[in-house]
Amino acid sequence: MKPHHQCRAFDTPEASGQGADRPTPFALTRLGSWGTVGTRRCHSALRREHRGPIPVADASGPDLATLSFHGEETVTVTVAEPTDEVVLNAVELAITEATIANDRGEALRGVPTMDEAAERCRIAFPRHLAPGAWRLRLVFTGHLNDKLRGFYRSSYKDASGATHLLAATQFEATDARRAFPCWDEPAFKAVFAVTLAIDPALAAVSNTRVVAERREGGKKIVAFADTIKMSTYLVAFVVGELEATDPVRVGAAPVRVWCVPAKLRLAAFGHAIAVASLRFFEEYYGLPYPGDKLDLLAIPDFAAGAMENLGAITFRETALLVDERAASHAEIERVADVVAHENAHMWFGDLVTMSWWNGIWLNEAFATFMEILAVDDWKPEWKRWVTFGVSRAAALVVDGLHSTRPVEYPVRAPRDADAMFDTLTYEKGASVLRMLEQYLGADVFRDGVRDYLRRHAYGNADTRDLWAALGTASRQPIPDVMDGWIFTPGYPLVSARVEGRELVLSQQRFAYLPEAPEGTEPSGEPGQRWRVPVQLRLHAGGTSSVTRLMLSGAEARLPAPERLDAVVVNEGGHGFYRVRYAPELLERLVRQLDDLAPIERFNLVNDTWAVTVAGLGSLTDYLDLTARFRGERDRNVWSVLLASFHALNRIVGPADRPRLAALVRDRVAPAFAALGWTTRPGEDEVTRQLRGDLARALGTLGDNPAVQSEAAERYAAYVASGDDVDPNVLPALITILAHAGDATRFDEFLRRFRAATTPQEEQRYLYALAGFRQPALIGQTLARTLNGEIRTQDAPFVVRTLLTGVRSRELTWEFVKTNWDAMERQYPKHALRRLAEGVIALATPELERDVHAFVRARKIDFGGKTLAQYLEQLRIAVTLRAREGAALSKYLARFG
Ligand SMILES: [Zn+2]
């Protein structure tokens, strides 16, 4: 799975889906009747359980007016020991018939009992089933829900404004049980043969090729080929008026992109990266693609970013469909990343699957690592491993909390598994895999991965199985190196200083706060140490040399060369740790910034900022440091500089805010002046993106009137005559105009949001609505997050954006408190969790107290340590304000 997320560095909109009205009842007639007729062959021993009986659920027949579906399922099971009960997972399903038969002519009718709380169905038989093979047949009905999980409905409007429905599935982690009764755990792998009975006007897609199609009783009966042996969470079916691109073959498998009509013109780019990355993975893994075809489907309503159903990958529209000429680089890159990520899963996750949900981290971390590898191979000019620094930085933030968690931890209930789809799993996991790959060497790492996949194909495996394969390939004790990064929370701060003729490196755990905040259970042991593969570059006498060492203890010493000019710790920037240089080493480094790679400059600023927030360095020193980067030309370095200015904007007093804007102008304007407003011939995409970023920073955070009026003129020319505006600058113009805009502009952007013709255009205007500063306009946008106008896949993210705006946060927080119940009812569960992340920006002591009171009163819990992490980040911001507020005010005095 790929979560939906927003860009952290700039508070700007990023990929997400469609915005249209909710389905209307009259549209249901288009749908015809839904039916699934599934045969599932499964080989597993049945387990007996003893619990009190519960009344049988109402087993009424299909009701088209309420969007129900009807299903039949046959499961081949092996009874291991005599039993008169079969227990499987099911929820919100009514099982109307349960029979079991064998080849010896025995047949029994069972009595199903639903336990909705346990999400189980217990089928009691009148006598014991003898050991051996049986066929369990179940007939059931269910409701096509609008919660974007299980078997659900999605809707979209055509050009004439008519609403159309389609049906799709989203099963990970534990929602297959909402579509059909099953043993809904990853280790219960089975072969699935799906047949769908649908309206003849519609198309149906499932995991495998269509093997037969016929008409029966006014329905189209579509039968799909047997799948490979796989887990239930990877099963998928999608039914609707879908259109597909022509197939392109990779090996024997045709690859197609599917979407709703009228959007096929946006499919070419996603199709291209799908084909390229599938070929890349066949080569990298040394194994052919395990499916018989690959369909990538854009679903108008989709909770996550995408889902790796084998052979039928589902996406939110912004993660698959894009107009390459009109989209910004970030929007295009998002599509490439997500498509490559899901394709990587076809082997790592689908062919070889984690044994249990504690292995989600490996599944997701690995796919994230492979996504970057594949995109980097496809478009080396995008410098994807450099830009990955931003993702690594996001993980370093969360993992610097006392309320962090180890990457891998025991998962008992599905609720714990849900909390695993977070930054620590994806970004920290991928970062430490990258660190390991760099340490072992890329070829050795790949050989280990190949061995792991071959050994466990069609089966399940654990982290230790991958370590074993990598250990064999590298002849190194992998767990010795990796366990500290995976099974213990946090990461080290490596400090560097010179003592006489020695360079001294020491490590301690990095934390923003000296102690865990009240009510937070501290994680990890005191005196924690890691085995840190450190890569150093020493500059001396005009030359440089790279040294590697394993820092295992508290301290390591190495001889410093004579005439040492500078030391770069974390050379190449792959290490998952922070570096603090002694003042004189820092000064030497800053004097020769040009000798540092962009990722090294990024880490230098990022680590220094973190050390400042942690109270280990002064804010004044940090702000002085930012002045040394006025000439910076790398977009990632700017992203961390601008993120730190945004953080200061959230803690600065209102009187000082214009002075902070002046500081931003002072730092940013020279770099923007050097770039200018217009694209130059031969410019790379990263530079064009930087132009948009810097313009946005000057026009919003820097509140520069000249930039704002220039943006208005350029936008007007673009609207009037279709003037060519660089797609990387256009989103910045829209953001700036919203920031400076009034009610007329708001109405204009609202119209454009409604009339948008690409998912990306729609998102730009949607998030622009959250950028206006007048209370009345903020109120209008908030109202639309609950009245159905903004899709539930997007609304929580819009609220989150509003929570982070300094002009909108208080109003929005009141709105959230007032409407929490409605939000809980309407929004997908994990999106509500992402919405709540916005409280991090409520960085005043009063708001912090109010947040605590609210979560206590409402007993809010998102599973895992999610809430504690948000509250700790809020504590850090309020602490920074208390500690550095006066120094900040004093520093800013020179800008007023
Ligand atoms: Zn994934």
* Ligand 1 center to 374 CA (angstroms): 14
Whole-number pLDDT of residue 339: 98
> Catalytic positions, please?
342
* Ligand 1 center to 285 CA (angstroms): 17
Of residues 335, 338, 376, 331, the one with CA closest to residue 728? 331
Q: Are strands 68-79 and 34-45 parallel, antiparallel or unpaired?
A: parallel
* Ligand 1 center to 348 CA (angstroms): 10
* Ligand 1 center to 307 CA (angstroms): 7
* Ligand 1 center to 152 CA (angstroms): 21
Q: What is the DSSP string of 500-568?
A: TTEEEEEEEE--SSSSPPTTPPP-S-TT----EEEEEEEEETTEEEEEEEEE-SSEEEEEPPTTEEEEE
Q: Which residue has the tokens 């240089």?
A: 581
Return phi, psi of residue 660, to 5°.
-65, -40
* Ligand 1 center to 174 CA (angstroms): 15
For 177, which DSSP code?
G
* Ligand 1 center to 362 CA (angstroms): 10
* Ligand 1 center to 340 CA (angstroms): 10
* Ligand 1 center to 349 CA (angstroms): 8
Q: How far apart are CA 226 and CA 213, in angstroms?
A: 15
Whole-number pLDDT of residue 402: 96
Q: How far apart are CA 327 and CA 82, in angstroms?
A: 62
For 426, which DSSP code?
I
Q: Is residue 759 classed exposed, middle or buried when 0-12, 13-18 and 19+ CB atoms within 10 A define those classes? A: buried
Whole-number pLDDT of residue 5: 59
Contact 467, 301 (CB under 8 A): no
Whole-number pLDDT of residue 809: 97
* Ligand 1 center to 319 CA (angstroms): 13
Q: How far apart are CA 880 and CA 564, in angstroms?
A: 35
Mapped onto helix, strand or coil, the DSSP state of residue 853 is helix
Q: Is residue 524 classed exposed, middle or buried when 0-12, 13-18 and 19+ CB atoms within 10 A define those classes? A: middle
Whole-number pLDDT of residue 47: 32
* Ligand 1 center to 784 CA (angstroms): 31
H or E element, residue 212: strand 210-216
Q: How far apart are CA 42 and CA 524, in angstroms?
A: 42
* Ligand 1 center to 229 CA (angstroms): 19
Give the CB-side neighbour count of residue 729, counting CA atoms within 13 A: 21
* Ligand 1 center to 458 CA (angstroms): 18
The segments of the chain whose pLDDT lies below 70 read: 5-66, 414
* Ligand 1 center to 634 CA (angstroms): 29
* Ligand 1 center to 342 CA (angstroms): 6
Of residues 238, 220, 97, 88, the one with CA closest to residue 154? 238
pTM of the model: 0.89
Which residue type, as a one-letter code, is found at position 859? K
Of residues 685, 738, 695, 714, the one with CA closest to residue 325? 685
* Ligand 1 center to 741 CA (angstroms): 39
pLDDT per residue as tens digits for the range 190-241: 999 999 998 898 999 999 999 999 999 888 999 999 999 999 999 999 999 9
Whole-number pLDDT of residue 501: 92
* Ligand 1 center to 165 CA (angstroms): 27
Q: What is the DSSP string of 553-586?
A: SSEEEEEPPTTEEEEEESGGG--SSEEEE-HHHH
Whole-number pLDDT of residue 66: 61
Upstream peptide bond of 173 is cis (omega within 30 degrees of 0): yes
Q: Which residue has the tokens 């140490």?
A: 529
* Ligand 1 center to 186 CA (angstroms): 15
* Ligand 1 center to 730 CA (angstroms): 31
Contact 156, 300 (CB under 8 A): yes
pLDDT per residue as tens digits for the range 643-673: 999 999 999 999 999 999 999 999 999 999 9
* Ligand 1 center to 3 CA (angstroms): 8
Q: How far apart are CA 434 and CA 389, in angstroms?
A: 11
